[in-house]
Amino acid sequence: MKKECIGSHVRVGEKVYPCSVSLAMDLVGGKWKTVILYHLKDHEKRYSELRKELFSVTEMTLSIQLRQLEKDGLVSRTVFGEKPPIKVVYALTEFGKTVIPVLEAITQWGNQIVDRKGEFVE
């Protein structure tokens, strides 16, 4: 029997999911969470750096998604300084780093799609 089919549902903390895929998608699903994680996979970044790299995301959406990723333990937020201008840095946590192989597989698949159907542009 597949591991994800051992029980009729999955519980993590107070949340109940129909399967482990649902749990995983709750953590990284949506349009921006996986993209944010991808941009943090190699090194930490400031909010402004993420904002430049993800130019089509709104500030509100980026802030909300970063907060959710932090709440779920995938991303850490470190604040330097007490008075403006403060420096805020985001990085993958150890738990967040466990998603890197998934991000690399998605990247590889995306590159194949571009090779077949599109092009990389400057």
Distance CA 113, CA 85 (A): 42
| Tens digit of each residue's pLDDT, the chain (122 residues) | 576 667 788 899 999 998 888 999 999 998 999 999 999 999 999 999 999 999 999 999 999 999 999 999 999 999 999 888 889 999 999 999 999 999 999 999 999 999 999 999 98
Tokens for 96? 């967040």
pTM: 0.89
Position 122 scores a pLDDT of 84
Which of 87, 79, 99, 83 is CA-nearest to residue 27? Answer: 99
Q: Write down the domain spans for the chain.
A: 1-30, 31-117
DSSP string, 92-113: E-HHHHTTHHHHHHHHHHHHHH
Class for domain 31-117, per CATH? mainly alpha
Position 4 scores a pLDDT of 61
Position 5 scores a pLDDT of 60
Position 42 scores a pLDDT of 96
Find where tokens 């999955």 sit.
10
Tokens for 16? 């109940």
Position 1 scores a pLDDT of 56
